[in-house]
Amino acid sequence: MGPSVLNFDGWYYTLIETAKLNGVDPQAWLTWVLGQVADHKITRLDELLPWRYAAQAA
């Protein structure tokens, strides 16, 4: 495995664990993010973070 694969894995696991720490189902959150991100402004990516998803889902 090259360094880029290891970096991606670390980044991916960080997203999953951050979702879990915020009481969010990682699969549901990532599905929601993938549905939103294409039309989302780059300056507003913070709206796609797990704690924002949790607030909207509540």
Q: What is the rounded average pLDDT of the residues 23-52?
A: 94
28, 35 Cβ separation under 8 angstroms: no
Buried/exposed code over 27-41 (b: 16+ C-beta within 10 A; e: otherwise): eebbebbeeeeeeee
Number of folded domains that form the chain? 1
Percent of the chain with pLDDT over 90: 64
Average pLDDT over residues 28-50: 94
Find the mean pLDDT for residues 15-44: 94
Q: Where in the sequence is the domain holding 25, given as residue range(s)? A: 3-57
Q: Look at residue 10 in the predicted model and tell me its pLDDT.
A: 81
Q: What is the pLDDT of residue 2?
A: 55
Cβ-contact 22, 50 below 8 angstroms: yes
Report residue 51 as tokens: 């704690």
Distances 38 to 9, 22, 28, 46 between C-alpha atoms, Å? 22, 24, 17, 14
